[in-house]
A = this chain, B = another copy of it.
Amino acid sequence: MIEIVLLGSGNVATHLFKAFSASEGIRVKQVYNHSEKTLDFFRSKCDVTTEISELAPADIYIMALKDDVVPEISEKLKDLNALIAHTSGSVALDALRACSRRGVYYPLQTFSKDNDVNYSEIPFCLEANTAQDLEILKTLASKVSGNCYEISSEQRKKLHLSAVFVCNFVNHLYAVGEQICKQNDIPFDILKPLIAETAGKVQHASPAGVQTGPAIRNDQSTIKAHLDLLESGENKKIYELLTSAIKTFHGKKL
C-alpha cells in the first residue's frame, strides 16, 4: 500500500485524487490546501488540513500546486524525509533541491473540473534524483495508467511547450471556428466530426504526413478568397501566419 499526501486542491489535485481512489494499492491519507474553501470535495473522503505543520506521515508527498509556490512549499517539506514530488510540466526537478528525496510526477493531460478523464490512458512523465525513487514513482504511476515515461527536466520543458501547441493553441483554433460559425448562423455541431477525425488521424499517422488544405496544395485562389472573408484582426493574422508556416514546413514556395 502506497500512502500519499496530496498538496493542492485544484483541477490536477482533484483528478489525481480520483485516479488514486480508483486504483488498487494506493491510499490518499490527507489533502492539504492553504485555504479551507476548496477542501470541501475532499473532506468526506480523507483527512484535510490547511497547515503544513499538520501534514500526516506518508510515503510520497505530491505537490499539485501553482508553479511559482513549488520551491517555497518544498522548503517547508524538507524535514519530512519522504519522497517529495511535484506535478508541473515546466518546473525543473532541481526546484525541489531543499528535499533530499525529490521527484516529478507530471500527468500530461488537460484537466477541467467537469470533464471526466480516462485515467488509464494518461501519460505520466517521471523523474527522480535516485534510481530507487524513480522506481517508486513508476510503481505509483503504473497502478493508475499503462503509459509511464522517464523524462528529464530538459525534455519535460520541451514537452510542455509542445503541449501548448497541440492542446491550448489547438483549442483556440476550435474557438475561432466556433466564432465564425456563430457570426454566420451555422451550428458549430457541423464541425465536430471534422475535429474528431483530424485528432483521430494523427493517433496512427504522422501529422506532417497527413497535412491537407489550401496551404499545402498552394491553392492561391482559395487562400485569397478566405483572406477576403476575414476582417483585419487576430483571425486574419492567424490565417496568414499558419498558411505561410505550412508552406515553409513542407518546402513550398512562399
Contact = CB atoms under 8 A, between A and B. Distances in A.
Given A172-B246, A172-B249, A237-B241, A164 B198 contact: no
Contacts of A181: 158-159, 162
Interface stretch (A22-30, A79-87, A120-128): A120-128
A245 B191 CA distance: 21
A237 B110 CA distance: 24
Given A211-B172, A245-B237, A177 B163 contact: yes
Nearest to A229: B161
Interface stretch (A35-43, A51-59, A214-222): A214-222
Contacts of A158: 180-181, 183-184, 186, 229
Interface in A170-209: 170-181, 183-203, 205-208
B164 A213 contact: yes
Which interface class (under 10, 10 to 19, 20 to 34, 35 or more) fits A?
35 or more
A90 to B, nearest CB: 6
A130 interface: no
A122 B249 CA distance: 30
Interface stretch (A1-9, A69-77, A134-142, A147-155): A147-155
A44 interface: no
A210 interface: yes
A199 to B, nearest CB: 3
A207 B162 contact: no
A242 B176 CA distance: 11
A232 interface: no
19 contacts: A110-B194, A115-B205, A147-B189, A147-B190, A149-B190, A157-B225, A161-B180, A162-B181, A163-B191, A166-B174, A166-B191, A166-B194, A168-B214, A168-B215, A169-B246, A172-B246, A192-B203, A195-B203, A234-B241
Interface of A: 67-68, 90, 108-110, 112, 114-115, 117-118, 121-123, 125, 147, 149, 151, 154-155, 157-181, 183-203, 205-208, 210-216, 219, 221-222, 225-226, 229-230, 234-235, 237-239, 241-242, 244-246, 248-249
Please give me the 6 A-B residue pairs with the lowest Cβ-Cβ distance, nearest first: A168-B213, A199-B199, A174-B207, A166-B177, A234-B245, A162-B177
